[in-house]
Structure 1
Amino acid sequence: MYAEERQQSIAREVASEGRLSVAEIAERYDVTTETVRRDLTALEQLGLVRRVHGGAVPAAALTTLETAVGERDVANTAAKERIVRAALAELPPAGASVLLDAGTTTARLAAMLPTNHRLVVYTHAVPVAARLATNPAVELHLLPGRVRTATQAAVGAATVGAVGLLRVDVAFMGANGISLGHGLSTPDAEEAATKRAFVLAAERVVVLADASKVGVEAAVRFAELDQVDLIVTDDAVDAEERSALEAAGPEVVIA
């Protein structure tokens, strides 16, 4: 296979799969990792992929566009289920308080909260609240604010102000992107402000994010990596990236 043919094929696979590591590409095409890095550099210069630590993502990974909740909920479902089951081990003792961020993975966590473990739960996300409303062990508090259509979550000054009055034991967070250079990020500034308030309100911050979010940078940073205690992700994350994230601060658990 000629270099141009290989590069075109790599670009198609990155676009299709959302993320490929250097090691994966080298194995698939039976070339050295140095050759892969040269291919990725060439593809990035053409605007076809974007290089991240340990691999590549589609060029559109750094974006201000936002996918609606319904579309995100059908992506990486098996990984999200494993992540949620691992996250259940991070619940605080009975009687403690938690913040649940908006997102499809946090909504799955809400649905799986035990019905015999008493918790005080604060959330700004309508889908999360809907799943918790019938849980007899949960004292549910729905935070105020304007509800965005894309995320079905309250945002704005009222939301940030309400969160600023809280001090909770654990915040379970989602993120659109996690990277060494940009920290944790999301496309919308008002969502970022709310997430930032969540991080500051919690004694412990646990981020639930499948591997497709690692190495991605959305437009607005809401937390540095050293503000996060734990990232729960899946086994598709690159081993080098996991080590680099842990060196920056948070523990990384593979579900």
Structure 2
Amino acid sequence: MYAPERHQQILAWARQRGRVDVTSLAAELDVTAETVRRDLTALERHGLVRRVHGGAIPVERLGIEPGIADRERVLSGEKERIAKTALEELPEGGAVILDAGTTTVRLAEMLPTDRELTVVTHALPVATVLATRPGITLHLVGGTVRGRTLAAVGTWAERALQDIHADVAILGTNGLSVEHGVTTPDLAEAAVKRMLVQAARRTVVLADHTKIGRSEFARVAALSEVDTVVTDDGVDGDLVDEIEAAGPRVVRA
């Protein structure tokens, strides 16, 4: 197993278990304890875990939300496939709301050039991608910009979103579970995401398999308010069945 594969497996176990220890990881991965320590150091340097005595804890357990640069490095292939699959959810023409997130940025980069679309976003990275694109009428929602996600939040953003009605809202998320629905670590960002859902006829959530089954601090929407979830083929089949029983259609990229 190559180092990037080990890193992905260690991170998945850390998120599932809440904590990992060096001795157990060395045995499970059939590597030395020193190799595991180097792996944990690399994951900590990327902002994904916090080293503790004898092991590590995923930053989500500590209430630390990874920054956008850190999240861009994680599961890039899966996010690419999710974004490409999500193109099928776009209207032939009309209005689309694009949420903040690394996967929604990739979707913005892939938007078709053979149709005219109105795009509404509160995410600076999405706006940067689309600002000069032909065929795109871009509306950038203002507000207080969160440095961690580069998304505008607050009452300015919420008021602006009350005035629109789009064909589809495409959301990113930090967690998605049957029990708690769509969730995110920040209350202000959750409030804006709720407005995105209310401002569109359909809601599509993009979530790689590490987000499925997880719950974060602030609730955005129940699964009954979501039409489609686009994820990758690493998602557990039982979780897919549970999610679809709660309402949304699940598409695996």
Per the normalisation by structure 1, the TM-score is 0.77
Structure 1 pair 70/15, CA: closer, same or farther in 2 (3 Å)? closer
1:131 equivalent in structure 2: 129
Letter in 2 for 1:221: R
Structure 2: distance between partners of 1:240 and 1:16: 17
- Partner in structure 2 of residue 245 of structure 1: 243
Matched length:
209
Rounded Cα–Cα distance in structure 2 between residues aligned with 1:63 and 1:194 = 23
Counterpart code for 2:70: E
Aligned counterpart, 1:145: 143
Q: Equivalents in 2 of 1:119, 1:59: separation in Å?
A: 39
Kindly provide the CA deviation profile for residues 176-225 of structure 1, in whole angstroms up to 9, marking residues without a partner as x: 00011111100000000000000111100000110000011110001000
1:82 alignment partner in structure 2? 81
Tell me the CA shift for residue 64 of structure 1: 2.9
Matched letter for residue 203 of structure 1: R
Which one scores higher on RCO, CA 8 angstroms, separation ≥ 6?
1
What percent of counterpart residues are identical? Answer: 47
* Counterpart-to-counterpart distance in 1, 2:58 and 2:130: 37
Q: CA RMSD in A?
A: 2.1
Give 2:215's aligned residue.
217
In structure 1, distance between residues paired with 2:11 and 2:134: 44
Cα distance change, pair 59–147 in 1 and its aligned pair in 2 (3 A): closer
Aligned structure 1 segments of 4 or more residues deviating by more than 6 angstroms: none
What does residue 97 of structure 1 align with? 95
Question: Residue 234 of structure 1 corresponds to which residue in structure 2?
Answer: 232
8 Å Cα contact 2:59-2:66 kept in structure 1: no
Gaps of 5+ in 2: 1-8, 18-27, 29-56
Q: What do residues 24-74 of structure 1 show as CA deviations (whole Å, max 9, x unaligned)?
A: xxxxx8xxxxxxxxxxxxxxxxxxxxxxxxxxxx77645532110010011
Task: Please give the residue correspondences for 1:30-45 in structure 2 after superposition, counting only pairs within 5 Å.
Answer: none
Secondary structure of the residue aligned to 1:214 is coil
1:212 is paired with a residue of what secondary structure? coil
In 1, Cα distance between equivalents of 2:219 and 2:124: 23
SS of 2:244's equivalent in the other structure is helix
Change (3 A) 1:20 1:147: closer
